[in-house]
Amino acid sequence: MADPLWRDLLKYSNEGKYGEFVKRFAKSLSLAMNQVVVNHQFANSELTRNLSEDADYLGIIRRGEHVTVLYRQRCAKKPGEWLGRLVLGYEDGEVRIFAASIF
């Protein structure tokens, strides 16, 4: 269930499509994000515009009503590996993204 959501985030981040990137976000996350800041990140971050589709699932932990899925993420233009984190839960009967980040 998490993998297609993660792949979509990678795709839309690489393409700089903010509207598509946030379409599965929980309402609370969407409200907390500043569209100007995120668009600036998409435009100026070599990492977030060049994420490799080559991501490895590392594991999952559960905390209350949410699960955190961890990925080993790579970048097409920067050497090394990053930790991808996707927090999922239910909102209005649908699986939604409550947090997504790369460290």
For residue 36, the model assigns a pLDDT of 64
Task: Judge if pTM exceeds 0.85.
Answer: yes
For residue 93, the model assigns a pLDDT of 96
Q: CB under 8 Å, gap of 24 or more: what pairs does 55-61 form?
A: 55/6, 55/7, 55/10, 55/84, 57/2, 57/3, 58/83, 60/2
User: Considering Cα of 85, then 39, then 30, then 6, what sign does the dihedral take?
Assistant: negative
**pLDDT by residue, tens only, the chain of 103 residues:** 899 999 999 999 999 888 898 899 999 888 777 666 666 666 678 888 899 988 999 999 999 999 999 999 999 999 999 999 999 999 999 999 999 999 9
For residue 89, the model assigns a pLDDT of 98
C-alpha 22: how far from chain center: 9
Taking the CB of residue 26, how many other CB atoms lie within 10 A of it?
21
Give the CA dihedral 18, 23, 24, 26, nearest 10 degrees.
Answer: 90
